[in-house]
Structure 1
Amino acid sequence: MENRASIEERFQRDWGLEPPESIFRFWEFHQSLDADERRAMHDDLWLGTAGIMDLFADPGARPRDGIDIRVHWRFYRDPPEFLTFMTGGSDGLHYGLWFEDGRTCTGVASYYSNDGGGLDTSAATPLEAVRDYLERVWFDLDDPRHGEGATEARDRLRRLRDKLTAYETADRPEVGRAYSDRYHPPVIPPVDPDRITTLDSAGALVVGETALDRPAHNGADQNKFARYVHDLFQDAEAREESVADARGRCAAGDPAEALVLGRDLHWTSGGDPVREAHAHELLVMAYRALGRSALAEIADAHHRHRDLPSVDVLADQ
């Protein structure tokens, strides 16, 4: 890629993050699509590039005056760890590179910003995320309601799959339902001791004590946990006490509670300026204590621009 050096320099300068090799493979794949393959990607899968990929197309692109580039395609509930690169076709589905250590990408996260449910962090790379979605659509085309159009769509998707597997997942011969059953079976994921439970379902990469003695990621009944925390947040006095406790723990050298509570408040802010302010305070405090300055800066930028009417902040060319 002739622009690679410029893109890497831009990410380091503006985000303080290292773009992974997988995002360059994704861009090379996307640029290589012919007309039918592009139609399969955009019309049959309803997947399109967005966010940071706009800078791959134009590394010199600038935001509108007064707006921080780090909020380009940053949705209201996106955690600071999330960096959008692709959108889906319904209910605000979007995908982001996941930078939970504040420096390197550890995978891909996705969620529906206009619907329920939490973050899905099962895909390791952008192209794996595309393959996962392609196989779900492939299975859905078995529905007779799709009629004759299903045959044409399958022909396009087959070509798109062939193109994708030239880059990644060639070792996975299964298609459709068999693919999903093999690589993403509907089972409870294993407990992850390196992360602590959060409301957004992604877990927080941190070690320490928490006020609720939260279990490790995937170790809680997520529905019961969500009901308990939501009820707690409805009590303004209890919420203030929780924030004060997290603030004190972080000042004493343990940022775990500030991080998990900050993530929970961010996820459930719902336009409440008090929750937004508390989330911002705790996240910046926790990230700085953990040496994740890039995430602290992203959290700060998002707080300043959280009420923007559009996620697209680039200036007109």
Structure 2
Amino acid sequence: MSSSRSPEGTDPAASVAAMHERFPLIYAHFRQVYSLRLPRHLAVYAAFWQGMSADAAECLGERLGLYPWGITELFEPGGLDRIPRDGLDERLHCRFRRDPAEFVTVMGGDTDGLHFGLWYDDPAELPSFIAHNYARDSAETWTNRAPTLLEQIRIRLADMRRDVELDGPEHYEGMPPFEPLEAALDAYAQADAEALAADGPPRWADAPRPRAAITIGPILPPAAGDPRAAEAGTRLDTYRDPAAAALVIAEARAELAAGRPALALMVGGELHWLDADEYRAESTELLTGAYRALGRDALAEIIEVHHAHRDLRSVEVLTPR
């Protein structure tokens, strides 16, 4: 997201007002494309990025390695005029091959394919929190449960400060100071809190979840059955043997057919993360079946388009018209 910067930055109230003015159009576009709801705090993050001082932006980019990416690019001037290249589906933009369907990218990082996304447990609800994934490393998806991108930046800033304490400041001489970024975060904190309050607390943010081996545990109704999350590590080993994997897949199919989609959701997600061609069809079948059984059709549709175009050479899909 491009921005011309003054040394002092833009007045936060003016920057937030400008992004809130854009928000309804971006919300409607996102709703039409993804069938998901966009949280207001994304407009505050866009205002923060556009309005912060040059020194704060230097710290965010060079020291923390963070920048707007994915859906937040729609807040740029002309962002809604971008179109998918080569006739592709817009939902593929910034979607790495092992990203779960629940993950919608909103911020990029500077190492190992690090990117951050809104996490949608249920398409009918606002996202539960911010998640992150190192796509070019082992590509598991985890969360600090940060409710907004500004809070996620604070977490990363605290991590960087701990690095300085552990390594010694002499190792970071010449690096941009943290203070301008901290001041910018403080300047937009009230707007961030107000955006959260306007949307209301995310329904599933603090709900208990089963532990999963490679991603955030799912929120499931009791009638969905047992996801057997504790067996995930064993299943990942099992998939190395096609005959043994076939038994696991058959059991997940049987549970799904009986109206208990929990195991199909877990096994399908594990096969999706495993990213092996021999299991792609089974992963698609189990995930789409489980999502639809749970009434999460928007996530099933993301899986369908993702698996149909999973071998793209670049996840940069939106381009200027």
Tell me which protein shows more helix as a share of its residues: 2
| One-letter code aligned to 1:160 | L
The percent identity for this pair of structures is 39
Question: SS where residue 59 of structure 1 aligns?
Answer: helix
Q: Are 2:105 and 1:115 aligned?
A: no
Q: Are 2:269 and 1:263 aligned?
A: yes
Question: SS where residue 205 of structure 1 aligns?
Answer: coil
Q: Are 2:163 and 1:140 aligned?
A: yes
Q: 2:121 aligned to 97, 100, 104, which one?
A: 100
Q: 2:214 aligned to 200, 210, 216, which one?
A: 200
How far apart, CA to CA, are the structure 2 residues paired with 1:193 and 1:22?
A: 21
Aligned partner of 2:202 in structure 1 is none
Q: How many residues align?
A: 281
Aligned partner of 2:247 in structure 1 is 241
Q: What are the equivalent positions in structure 2 for 1:267-278 lying under 5 Å apart?
A: 267-269=273-275, 272-278=276-282
Q: Are 2:272 and 1:285 aligned?
A: no
Aligned partner of 2:45 in structure 1 is 26
Residues 68/147 of structure 1: CA separation in 2 closer, same or farther (3 Å cut): closer
| One-letter code aligned to 2:22 | N
Question: SS where residue 70 of structure 2 aligns?
Answer: coil
Aligned partner of 1:79 in structure 2 is 100
Q: 2:72 aligned to 29, 43, 53, which one?
A: 53
Q: Are 2:174 and 1:149 aligned?
A: yes
Question: SS where residue 167 of structure 1 aligns?
Answer: helix
Q: Is the 8 A contact 1:84 1:96 kept in 2?
A: yes
Greater CA drift, 272-281 or 135-144? 135-144
Q: Is the 8 A contact 2:98 2:139 kept in 1?
A: no
Which deviations, in whole Å up to 9, do the C-alpha atoms of 1:86-134 show, x marking residues without a partner?
A: 1111111110000011232100100211223732211221111111111
TM-score, structure 1 as length reference: 0.82
Greater CA drift, 141-150 or 59-68? 141-150
Aligned partner of 2:309 in structure 1 is 305
How far apart, CA to CA, are the structure 1 residues paired with 2:261 and 2:210?
A: 12
How far apart, CA to CA, are the structure 1 residues paired with 2:28 and 2:265?
A: 29
Pairwise CA distance, 1:4: 1.4
Q: Is the 8 A contact 1:246 1:257 kept in 2?
A: yes
How far apart, CA to CA, are the structure 1 residues paired with 2:34 and 2:207?
A: 28
Question: SS where residue 19 of structure 1 aligns?
Answer: coil
How far apart, CA to CA, are the structure 2 residues paired with 1:209 and 1:166?
A: 46
Q: Is the 8 A contact 2:82 2:320 kept in 1?
A: no
| One-letter code aligned to 1:131 | R
Residues 117/302 of structure 1: CA separation in 2 closer, same or farther (3 Å cut): closer
Aligned partner of 2:257 in structure 1 is 251
Q: 1:209 aligned to 225, 241, 244, which one?
A: 225
How far apart, CA to CA, are the structure 1 residues paired with 2:258 and 2:74?
A: 40
Pairwise CA distance, 1:242: 1.8
Residues 147/60 of structure 1: CA separation in 2 closer, same or farther (3 Å cut): closer
Aligned partner of 1:6 in structure 2 is 25
Aligned partner of 2:89 in structure 1 is 68
| One-letter code aligned to 2:225 | E
Q: Is the 8 A contact 1:197 1:214 kept in 2?
A: no
Q: Post-superposition, which runs of at least 4 consecutive aligned residues in structure 1 deviate over 4 A?
A: none
How far apart, CA to CA, are the structure 1 residues paired with 2:62 and 2:118?
A: 23
Structure 2 residues without counterparts, runs of 5 or longer? 1-18, 192-205
Which deviations, in whole Å up to 9, do the C-alpha atoms of 1:245-303 show, x marking residues without a partner?
A: 2122112211111111111111112xx22222211111111111111111111111111
How far apart, CA to CA, are the structure 2 residues paired with 1:163 and 1:11?
A: 28
Structure 1 residues without counterparts, runs of 5 or longer? 171-191
Calculate the aligned-residue CA RMSD, in Å.
2.2
Q: Is the 8 A contact 1:199 1:267 kept in 2?
A: no
TM-score, structure 2 as length reference: 0.81
Question: SS where residue 244 of structure 1 aligns?
Answer: helix
